[in-house]
A and B are shown apart, each in its own frame.
Chain A
Amino acid sequence: QVQVVESGGGVVQPGGSLRLSCAASGFTFSSYGMSWVRQAPGKGLEWVAFIRYDGSNKYYADSVKGRFTISRDNSKNTLYLQMNSLRVEDTAVYYCAKEYLRRLDYWGQGTLVTVSS
């Protein structure tokens, strides 16, 4: 069955960096676009970034553009989110989600990133 499992969250100081990973299984990873979506504590969902199936195009929310980089390794069935220059307001649960015809049909359980001094 389709599974996406995030890892790499933790506590980091403002200005620091963190790399999240999302391991995919149960589907042909190299055929689907993938997104990262985050949710700050007690808040709603915020789309963060999207990457096409082959990595040829990437899109970012304005709130993270220039600081976060989405990438993928299709040989390892893994999605990444490199987060630099982290801010307190980046504190959130980060979900990776598989796309099918641009809708988010499978989500992981999320990994918590806390930015705090």
Chain B
Amino acid sequence: DIQMTQSPSTLSASVGDRVTITCRASQSISSWLAWYQQKPGKAPKLLIYKASTLQSGVPSRFSGSGSGTEFTLTISSLQPDDFATYYCQQYSSYLYSFGQGTNLEIK
């Protein structure tokens, strides 16, 4: 099975900051990676798929990059609505797996 590891687990930042979250796969997954945002008590929301394609309706301050085993999610200028938990997910194999999550909190 493919293991996904995110870093950091917690990230403290301020409105306007540029932040980057990293996700590493235990083996190559090409570009079969998605990023989700989850707020407390809510369902996850798809932000990015195929490593770098923005889901419809997602603000352009979100971007993704990477391929193979290393990926990043970048938020160019944090807005108050962006403080949430972020998960990466691989879909290279049908045995999907998620990273453990990154809690983005207000500094």
Contacts and interface: CB of A to CB of B under 8 A. Distances in A.
B46 A104 contact: yes
Nearest to B94: A59
A102 B44 contact: no
A98 to B, nearest CB: 10
Interface in B26-53: 32, 34, 36, 38, 42-46, 49-50
A86 to B, nearest CB: 22
A93 to B, nearest CB: 9
Interface in A59-117: 59, 61-62, 95, 101-105, 107-110
Contacts of A50: 94, 96
A26 interface: no
Given A102-B91, A103-B91, A47 B46 contact: no
A25 B101 CA distance: 30
Contacts of B38: 45
B100 interface: yes
A46 to B, nearest CB: 7
B94 A44 contact: no
B69 interface: no
Interface residues on A, range: 20 to 34
Interface residues of B, number: 24
Interface of B: 1, 32, 34, 36, 38, 42-46, 49-50, 55, 87, 89, 91, 94-101
Interface of A: 35, 37, 44-47, 50, 57, 59, 61-62, 95, 101-105, 107-110
Given A59-B94, A103-B34, A109-B42, 13 more contacts: A44-B101, A45-B36, A45-B44, A45-B89, A47-B98, A57-B94, A103-B46, A103-B49, A103-B91, A104-B34, A104-B89, A107-B45, A108-B43
29 contacts: A35-B96, A37-B44, A44-B87, A44-B98, A44-B99, A44-B101, A45-B38, A45-B89, A45-B98, A46-B98, A47-B89, A47-B96, A47-B97, A47-B98, A50-B94, A50-B96, A57-B94, A62-B1, A101-B49, A102-B32, A102-B91, A103-B50, A103-B91, A104-B34, A104-B89, A105-B49, A107-B45, A109-B43, A110-B43
